[in-house]
Structure 1
Amino acid sequence: MTTNEYRQDFPILQTKINDEPLTYLDNAATSQKPQAVIDAMADFYAHGNANVHRGVYTLAAQATDRYEVVRDQVAQWLNAARREEVFFTRSTTDSLNWVVQTYGEQFVTAGDEIVVTVMEHHSNLVPWQQLAHRKGATLKYIGLTADGQLDLADARKQITAKTKVVAVAQASNVLGVTNPIKQLAQIAHAQNAILVVDGAQSIAHMAVDVQDLDADFYAFSAHKIYGPTGVGVLYGKYDLLSQLTPAQFGGEMISDVDWQTTEFAAIPERFEAGTPNICGVIGLGAALTYLQSVGLDTAQAIEQRLTKQLLTGLIAMPGITVYGPESPELHGPVVAFNVDNVHAHDIATGLDLAGVEIRAGHHCAQPLMRYLHVNATVRASVGLYNNSDDVDRLLTALESVKEFFES
């Protein structure tokens, strides 16, 4: 029995599924929450609930302070140059749509190019696709190398003097690869384009330094990093943010409203219209504190060991196709695969009977599925609370499911 001292921090892992121990391997979709996050959110509603940036009474001031402390936490986590470069949204999807609705609407014109990769999640593809349709711009794609990594040589061909935006995931939610963000930033900036980074699949698994990456915008969701759903983060370079008109209007994003004109509040408040998800932001702060206490290096070591065990087991199993690099050194904690002649959903249903929870489908990446010539894949993804027993249960259950369909 392989233990993991962090499992006890996550109460849901005591749950049974179909009378079997819960083996949760769908961390790429959402992570489970430690008790520290659950407690912080319950404490806010029980003892600290008030609206932020409004009241002068004690409870409101305390709520505002707690909310703003998390902004500082996030700015430090990302190594933003200043705290004003961070503001809160509903999700990664919301953040990326915000960039499209502000920067895209203001600066992309007919004849411009928008460059994405074939591995993008729909959240970092569909908004740009729709913007291109509205503006008469051209949407272009960077392809992959034979082992599923981003093709930098193709990136240099696709990004031209006409390119206005390059939008890319830092890590793929299917292929498990980490993309060369710094090099892409250099290529994009040499053509006077901006770089928009989807950090949903990387934020919990690696150190992120937006200044070192030279990303112009960087988006992620709290629920991918052991925090609650309903909270997203968008980082943007201050000089860029200062040029943008808010995407939403209403309470608390204003400085002064007259009969016919409005003066907006300072950055970042001007981009946070209405009452935010205060409790969710506090939950994000608790999640960052928790992960910091574990240590990102410790979490990475756990995930790398388990990814190697999972890849090795799958590659050794006849009739299995693994997507993305087979080398554990090149493969992050997301592993997509298929079983010959068995639909991914059938595999997932069989694994669920054994208490093994994985994802099956197109993973909100249908163009990538077409690129790979498949309709769907099975996807297992590990987190810091998983252990080798989880991987063993997956591999054992997978053998049984394969035998059932083969017979």
Structure 2
Amino acid sequence: MKIVDTLVTSSAQQTTTVPGIGQFRADFPILDIKVDDKPLIYLDNAASSQMPQAVIDCLVRYQKTQHANIHRAVHYLSNLATQEYEAARCKLQNFIGAREDREVIFTSGTTDSINLVMHGYGRKFIQRGDEIILSELEHHSNIVPWQMLAEERGAHIRVAPINDAGELLVEEYEKLFNSKTRFVALSHVSNALGSINPIKRMIAIAHQHDVPVLIDGAQAAPHLKIDVQDLDCDFYAFSAHKMCGPTGIGILYGKAHLLESMQPFKGGGDMIASVSFEKTTYNEIPYKFEAGTPPIAAAIGFGAAIDYLEQIGLDAIADYEHELLLYASEQIRMIPGVKIIGDCPDKVAVISFVIDGIHPHDVGTLLNQEGIAVRTGHHCAQPIMQRFNVAATSRASFSFYNTKKEIDALVAGIRSVQKVFAQ
């Protein structure tokens, strides 16, 4: 399939080579809806991206022709569902470059994956006085579980700082390591700012101290090519719903020897080898961590989303989204009274901004009246808001199905919001 198309963009009327806008935008039926009789301009992709028709069709096909429980029966539908479910696992293995498919565990999403590691690894190996390193860029889901563990175990959290551009200070991070450091948990990309952390370097620093590293990849996997072997991370987590897939499904990658050393997070069916009232023995990985009936349709849909993204190409997606980011940043910087928060050079297509004298919730409400969907609030990243001394921001986040014309509409919308409050 041809993945490069020519688009005449926005008011500038520039001709730009972009990945598939002419054909791939049409794959998303939700983009055709109207909001108050105005075209939907969906710029909240960092929260959840939209699903293409190919993924929707996959979900419907499963429900109509494949639905059954997996791993538990020998009949036709169960065998078919099991094959599709495990095929999705293999697609994700290949997508992230894992050595083995058993290193890929299906979870309900990034938050569930992080909690699995906290319970399965942290509660087994973290002791009183031990230290866990996080960063100021973390989402609450990569802060709160470790705080819970620290409180329970008598461990301590240490935090790597960032600068005014939203970049993590690697030298300061390195200074946090000592003989008590037992674990590191870092975001690959900040959900609030879009900053891309130099995680390969940071993982190497941790490994010099024999400390395992978990990477929250929820915001990276939709935009960047991930190779867990090249990164040498010990754990990597991300969710389907930010990368054209269904909600309620994600994965945890873990190095096999670490997963084998961990205790199960949840008990129940399919995570056991044998059960008696005297003793239970656990199943092999990954099944040891997949108790109960999983979200089978969602997992298969996740596999379809991976197929779809790989058909376009992650490099092509990254290039085009970077083009959108540069264009949007330039246009928003030109608006008096608007400030971009976390304006570092190495980031994905996320722009958080504040407008002088106007609360972000009012910004979001008025933009919605123009059909423009942005996220407002603290973005489940209150420490970042505190770092920049703001209560909240408005966040526009772009995907490969967005256009420069939509960015022009966002800029016009911001100016209209300012006019309302100037009256």
TM-score (norm 2): 0.94
Aligned partners of 1:4 and 1:386 also within 8 Å? no
Of 229, 234, 259 in structure 1, the residue corresponding to residue 247 of structure 2 is 229
Identify the range of structure 1 (159-168 vs 198-207) with the bigger mean alpha-carbon deviation.
Answer: 159-168
Task: State the partner residue of 1:365.
Answer: 381
* CA offset digits 1:326-383 (Å, max 9, x no partner): 54xx231111000011101011111001000000000000111111101000000000
Of 93, 98, 101 in structure 1, the residue corresponding to residue 111 of structure 2 is 93
Of 120, 132, 143 in structure 1, the residue corresponding to residue 161 of structure 2 is 143
TM-score (norm 1): 0.98
Aligned partners of 2:27 and 2:53 also within 8 Å? yes
Of 22, 38, 60 in structure 2, the residue corresponding to residue 20 of structure 1 is 38
Alignment of 1:239-278 (within 5 A): 239-278=257-296
Q: CA deviation at 1:402?
A: 0.9
CA–CA separation in structure 2 for the residues paired with 1:155 and 1:326? 18
CA–CA separation in structure 2 for the residues paired with 1:276 and 1:152? 39
Asked whether 1:118 is paired with 2:136, we answer yes
Asked whether 1:391 is paired with 2:407, we answer yes
* CA offset digits 1:6-55 (Å, max 9, x no partner): 11000000001111100000000000000000000000000110100011
Q: Which letter maps to 2:166?
A: G
CA–CA separation in structure 1 for the residues paired with 2:142 and 2:279? 34
Aligned partners of 1:176 and 1:335 also within 8 Å? yes
Aligned partners of 2:134 and 2:157 also within 8 Å? yes
Unaligned runs of 5+ in 1: none
Task: State the partner residue of 1:165.
Answer: 183
Asked whether 1:356 is paired with 2:372, we answer yes
**What secondary structure sits across from 1:149 in the alignment?**
coil
Identify the range of structure 1 (161-170 vs 354-363) with the bigger mean alpha-carbon deviation.
Answer: 161-170
CA–CA separation in structure 2 for the residues paired with 1:192 and 1:296? 32
CA–CA separation in structure 2 for the residues paired with 1:163 and 1:280? 37
Identify the range of structure 1 (350-359 vs 293-302) with the bigger mean alpha-carbon deviation.
Answer: 293-302
Of 334, 351, 356 in structure 2, the residue corresponding to residue 340 of structure 1 is 356
**What secondary structure sits across from 2:241 in the alignment?**
helix
CA–CA separation in structure 2 for the residues paired with 1:145 and 1:369? 13
**What secondary structure sits across from 1:6 in the alignment?**
helix
Q: CA deviation at 1:189?
A: 1.2
**What secondary structure sits across from 2:145 in the alignment?**
helix
Asked whether 1:296 is paired with 2:340, we answer no
Task: State the partner residue of 1:185.
Answer: 203
CA–CA separation in structure 2 for the residues paired with 1:341 and 1:160? 45
Q: CA deviation at 1:104?
A: 0.6
Runs of at least 4 residues of structure 1 off by over 4 A? none
Aligned partners of 1:4 and 1:387 also within 8 Å? no
Task: State the partner residue of 1:48.
Answer: 66
**What secondary structure sits across from 1:225 in the alignment?**
coil
Q: Which letter maps to 1:397?
A: G
**What secondary structure sits across from 2:23 in the alignment?**
coil
CA–CA separation in structure 2 for the residues paired with 1:302 and 1:208? 18
**What secondary structure sits across from 1:164 in the alignment?**
strand
CA–CA separation in structure 1 for the residues paired with 2:351 and 2:234? 29
**What secondary structure sits across from 2:132 in the alignment?**
strand
Q: Structure 2 vs 1, CA of residues 116 and 197 (structure 1 numbering), >3 Å: closer, same or farther? A: same
Count of matched residue positions in the alignment of Structure 1 and Structure 2: 405
Q: Which letter maps to 2:246?
A: P
Percent of aligned pairs with the same residue? 44
Asked whether 1:382 is paired with 2:395, we answer no
Q: CA deviation at 1:259?
A: 2.5
CA–CA separation in structure 2 for the residues paired with 1:148 and 1:385? 26
CA–CA separation in structure 2 for the residues paired with 1:24 and 1:259? 53
Q: CA deviation at 1:146?
A: 3.0
Identify the range of structure 1 (160-169 vs 375-384) with the bigger mean alpha-carbon deviation.
Answer: 160-169
Alignment of 1:48-67 (within 5 A): 48-67=66-85
Aligned partners of 1:217 and 1:236 also within 8 Å? yes
Of 47, 71, 86 in structure 2, the residue corresponding to residue 68 of structure 1 is 86
Asked whether 1:83 is paired with 2:76, we answer no
Aligned partners of 1:311 and 1:326 also within 8 Å? no
Of 220, 224, 237 in structure 2, the residue corresponding to residue 202 of structure 1 is 220
Q: Which letter maps to 1:394?
A: L
Unaligned runs of 5+ in 2: 1-7, 10-20
* CA offset digits 1:266-324 (Å, max 9, x no partner): 11111100000000001000100011111112211221111111100111111111111
Asked whether 1:103 is paired with 2:117, we answer no
Q: CA deviation at 1:325?
A: 2.4
Q: Which letter maps to 1:305?
A: E
Q: Which letter maps to 1:272?
A: E
Q: CA RMSD in A?
A: 1.0
Q: Which letter maps to 2:363?
A: I
**What secondary structure sits across from 2:242 in the alignment?**
helix
CA–CA separation in structure 2 for the residues paired with 1:39 and 1:356? 27
Q: CA deviation at 1:186?
A: 1.1
* CA offset digits 1:161-185 (Å, max 9, x no partner): 2111111100001111110111111
Q: Which letter maps to 1:284?
A: F
